[in-house]
Amino acid sequence: MNMSKKTKNICTAILILVAVILITLFDNDVIGNAYIKRVLNLAAIYAIISVSMNLVNGFTGMFSLGQAGFMAIGAFTVAVFTVPAESIPSIFYIEPMAPWLAAIRLPFVVALLVGGLIAAVLALIIGYPVLRLKSDYLAIATLGFSEIIRIVFTQMQTITNGALGIKCIPGITTMWVPFGAAAICIGIMVLLINSSYGRAFKAIREDDIAAEAMGINLSFHKNLSFAISSFFTAIAGGLFASLLTAVDPKQFYFTLTYNFLLIIVLGGMGSVTGTIIASFIITGGLEWLRFFDEPLSVMGYNIPIFRAGLRMVVFSLLLMILVLFYRKGIMGQKEFSWDGIYNWIMKVKTRLSRKKGGA
C-alpha cells in the first residue's frame, strides 16, 4: 500500500510546521520551562553527534569510539575563542592565557566552524594510519585517541586552562540555534549518504573486499567518512559548550562516547531517523529516570536501594532488555517514511479486526 506523493508532502509539511510552532512556543516560554528546554536542546545536540557517529559506525561499518575526543576539540575551540576578553583574567587565574590566543576573539559561528575544521584535520591525520585497523582494534585505537585529546587538554594550562576548564562562555539564547544547527548538519549528512559517496560507504560496510574490487578506494572513503563525522561532532561539541556555558576536560571522559553508541544502537545502526528519535528518547529518558536517584519512602519506610546511582542500574537493565529482544534497534537500517507509518497502521488495524472477528 502506498500513499500518493501529494499526501506525503502535505504530511511532511504539517510535521515541519508543528515542529516550528512547538519550538516558537517553547522559545517564548508559552509552554514548558527552562529545564525542558535544556533537555530538548541537549537532545538536538546529541542528535548531531549520534548521526555523525552513525555515519562512521552504521553506514561505513567502522567501529570508532572517538566521539568524545572530537566533541572536546569543538567544545574547547568555541570556549577558547568566544570567552569575552574581560572575563579571561578571572578565568585563567592560575596561569594567564597565552597572549596571542587572548588577542583572537571570534564570533560564535566562526569558532564553531574552526573547531569543526581542526577536528576534521586531526581526523585525517590519525585516520590514515588507524583506519586500516578493523573492528575492535579500530575501537581501541580511536578510544585511545579520544583519551589523548582529553589528557592533552588537561595539560595545556595556558590554552585550555587545564583541569579548571573555561567558564563564562556566551550561552545559547534561543532554541533555534541547536535545532537549526541540527537540521543543517543532519541535512548535509543525509544528502551525503544518498549520494554516490554514501553508496560507496555502504558498500564498504557490506563487503570491503567486493567494494575494493568495484574500484572503490577504501582508504580514501574511510578517511572521508571519518573526517566528515569528526567535523560535525566537533560542531556539536561547540554547541554543547555554548549550551552549558562551561567546559572542562572531565566532561569528555570516554564514557560520554558510550552515550552516543547507545543512541545509535537503540535507533538502529544505519538509520538516520532512528538515531534522531533515539537521541531524544535517551536524553529524555536519562532525565526522566532521575527519580530513581532520589530517596523514596513508602509508608514511612525508606527503600534502601533508592539512592544516587540506581538510575544508571535501571538504565543498564533497560539496555540489556533492548539488546536481548530488540537487537536491530527502533528502525534497523530502515528510514522513517509515511508509507511505513501507513502500512504499520493498516497492519495494526487488520490485526485488531481479526481479533474481534475471532472472538
Does residue 333 interact with other proteins by CB under 8 A? yes
Closest distance of CB 200 from other proteins, Å: 6
Interface with other proteins in residues 245-304 (CB under 8 A):
270
Closest distance of CB 80 from other proteins, Å: 40
Radius of gyration of the chain, Cα coordinates, nearest whole angstrom:
22
CA atoms within 13 A on the CB side of 191: 7
| CA distance linking residue 120 with residue 125, whole number of Å | 9
Closest distance of CB 334 from other proteins, Å: 11
Does residue 339 interact with other proteins by CB under 8 A? no
Taking the least distance from each CB to other proteins, the nearer of 141 and 211 is 211
Count of residues engaged in binding other proteins, rule: CB under 8 A: 18
Burial 97-128 (b: 16+ CB within 10 A, else e): beeeebeeebebeebbbbbbbbbbebbeebbe
The letter for the amino acid at 276 is I
Does residue 16 interact with other proteins by CB under 8 A? no
Query: DSSP class of residue 282?
Result: H
- The dihedrals phi and psi of 228, each to the nearest 5 degrees, come to -65, -45
Residue 205 and residue 134 in contact, taking contact as beta carbons nearer than 8 Å: no
| CA distance linking residue 150 with residue 124, whole number of Å | 18
Stretch that binds other proteins, among 41-49, 113-121, 215-223, 228-236 (CB under 8 A): 215-223
Does residue 207 interact with other proteins by CB under 8 A? yes
Which positions from 217 to 236 touch other proteins by CB under 8 A, shown as an x/- string? x-------------------
Does residue 211 interact with other proteins by CB under 8 A? yes
| CA distance linking residue 310 with residue 306, whole number of Å | 6
DSSP, collapsed to helix, strand or coil, labels residue 298 as: strand
- Record the cell numbers describing residue 72, joined without a space: 572536546
- The dihedrals phi and psi of 166, each to the nearest 5 degrees, come to -120, 130
Which positions from 182 to 201 touch other proteins by CB under 8 A, shown as an x/- string? --------------x--xx-
Interface with other proteins in residues 57-76 (CB under 8 A):
none
Query: DSSP class of residue 251?
Result: G
Closest distance of CB 194 from other proteins, Å: 11
User: What is the distance, to the nearest Å, from the Cα of residue 270 to the centroid of all Cα atoms in its chain?
Assistant: 14
Taking the least distance from each CB to other proteins, the nearer of 212 and 293 is 212
Closest distance of CB 325 from other proteins, Å: 21
Does residue 215 interact with other proteins by CB under 8 A? yes
**Contacting positions for other proteins (CB under 8 A):** 196, 199-200, 202-203, 206-207, 209-217, 270, 333
